[in-house]
Structure 1
Amino acid sequence: MGSPRSVLSCLLLHLLVLCLQAQVRSLWPPVGSARVGPGGGGREGGRETGLGTGAGWRRDMLRAGRQPAGLTQEVTVQSPPNFTQHVREQSLVTDQLSRRLIRTYQLYSRTSGKHVQVLANKRINAMAEDGDPYAKLIVETDTFGSRVRVRGAETGLYICMNKKGKLIAKGNGKGKDCVFTEIVLENNYTALQNAKYEGWYMAFTRKGRPRKGSKTRQHQREVHFMKRLPKGHHTTEQSLRFEFLNYPPFTRSLRGQRTWASEPR
């Protein structure tokens, strides 16, 4: 027989092994056994009998690929509003509430070297000289964006586009075919795209004749225009002048209060 010390060590080791086995059995019960957690749930015969909150139950749920209730809280994050999309949608709707901005200018055609005019016989061309009364155009805003309606100041007729892409003049410009979108290009010229027929632009040939919108593209010279003020026409912004007011200098008293000094005579 061994020494008493070795026998005691063997007994302690045997007890430690038994304790570990008992702990493992409590965490991993065999199939068919019942296990009840602190929350009253358990498994019986491989079947769930309730919802417990024990460590073994959590581990089984996670191993099965399910999320135990109450462990995590769903957080709903609302995406911020898309302001660009809102502006794009509102730009397609006629604004009936805001005050309309009215501008007066001429449209200089890049190809013909003349100005767009609306004649009394409802003809539209780009053969007007600078300062011609028929070349004076009144541009009304349709939305808070860049959509406008263009009409001749002399005749009052609106520039519109029919379904064939031909420019026509109408006395009533409320239709969408009389609305154009101002597009500022990289070369600082302006293109006017029809709001009803997207991709169709106001265009004129070298002889000043209107070109069909179905044959136009944004990069073509025929659709490039430059805004010019009529001769002798001055904007209200140019007539405004800054006024400078001369206030007398102030001095600081002993108590830290500002007092105005007397003006020099």
Structure 2
Amino acid sequence: MDPCSSLFSYVLMHLFVLCLQAQVTVQSPPNFTQHVREQSLVTDQLSRRLVRTYQLYSRTSGKHVQILDNKKINAMAEDGDVHAKLIVETDTFGSRVRIKGAATGFYICMNKKGKLIGKSNGKGKDCVFTEIVLENNYTALQNAKYEGWYMAFTRKGRPRKGSKTRQHQREVHFMKRLPKGHQTTEPHRRFEFLNYPFNRRSKRTRNSSSRAGP
């Protein structure tokens, strides 16, 4: 065999092996969406908890969700009712929350039968709900333990079993509202202009623009 051809074949084979190694070592970019999805399913112990205060307006009953002193939950409260004021705590950096009554301290939870119940300890997964913003701008609250089961109320404001709920039903649609008379944390401030002293560059720009005229 010609030495030149054998050398050429060796070089081609070596390049072929290098190409295969390059293909094997190439790593696909990280799937950030999958990471967020996985991390949203576990309790976040590192990030700062976000606490909000609002009312949940039921689309079907036309009233607000309330947690009574006897741990019963319904959607019969008027706007501004003391039992309608809810404290919402984030459970993850995603959209999972724990909801408790500001007046009673009881958490809204769901038992294995799909019934809404009040608990003084809301650490269980049955007391965690995922906030889902729908296309009609209403919010649905899906239980984290019983996937596919939602917080829902009838037209009379009575709780509906989670096992009989679906995301498209009006009974699971809510609107977040600030409590009546509730003020935002920061008062509205008027826009203010700040006057800074002119430097050499700004003086030249100002003089040139004044000479140009209208």
Question: For the superposition of Structure 1 and Structure 2, which TM-score range results when normalised by the shorter chain?
Answer: 0.7 to 0.9
Q: CA deviation at 1:246?
A: 2.9
Q: CA deviation at 1:92?
A: 0.9
TM-score by length of 1: 0.69
Alpha-carbon separation, structure 2, partners of 1:242 and 1:99: 30
Alpha-carbon separation, structure 2, partners of 1:77 and 1:251: 53
Alpha-carbon separation, structure 2, partners of 1:71 and 1:181: 53
Cα deviation 1:136-185 (Å, max 9, x = unaligned): 10000001110000000000000000111100000000000000000000
Q: What does residue 189 of structure 2 align with?
A: 241
Q: CA deviation at 1:97?
A: 1.6
Specify the structure having the higher radius of gyration (Cα). 1
Q: CA deviation at 1:53?
A: 3.2
Q: 1:96 to 1:111 in 2, by over 3 A?
A: same
* Residue 53 (1) aligns with residue 6 (2): yes
Q: What does residue 129 of structure 2 align with?
A: 180
**Bigger RCO (CA 8 Å, 6+ sep):** 2
Q: CA deviation at 1:78?
A: 1.0
Return the match for 1:136 from 85, 88, 91: 85
Structure 1 stretches of 5 or more lacking a match? 1-25, 27-36, 40-51, 62-67, 257-265
Alpha-carbon separation, structure 2, partners of 1:38 and 1:139: 79
Q: Sequence identity of aligned pairs in percent?
A: 79
* Residue 206 (1) aligns with residue 159 (2): no
Superposition pairs of residues 60-209 of structure 1, within 5 angstroms: 69-72=13-16, 73=18, 74-75=21-22, 76-209=25-158
Q: How many residues align?
A: 199
AA partner of residue 187 (structure 1): N
Cα deviation 1:69-117 (Å, max 9, x = unaligned): 4132121211111111111111111111211111111000000111000
AA partner of residue 160 (structure 2): R
Alpha-carbon separation, structure 1, partners of 2:197 and 2:15: 70
Alpha-carbon separation, structure 2, partners of 1:168 and 1:248: 60
Secondary structure at 1:151's aligned position in 2?
strand
Alpha-carbon separation, structure 1, partners of 2:6 and 2:41: 57
Superposition pairs of residues 25-36 of structure 1, within 5 angstroms: none
Q: CA deviation at 1:236?
A: 1.2
AA partner of residue 123 (structure 2): K
AA partner of residue 178 (structure 2): L
Secondary structure at 1:53's aligned position in 2?
helix
Secondary structure at 2:71's aligned position in 1?
coil
Q: 1:93 to 1:242 in 2, by over 3 A?
A: farther
In terms of fraction of residues, the more helix-rich structure is: 2
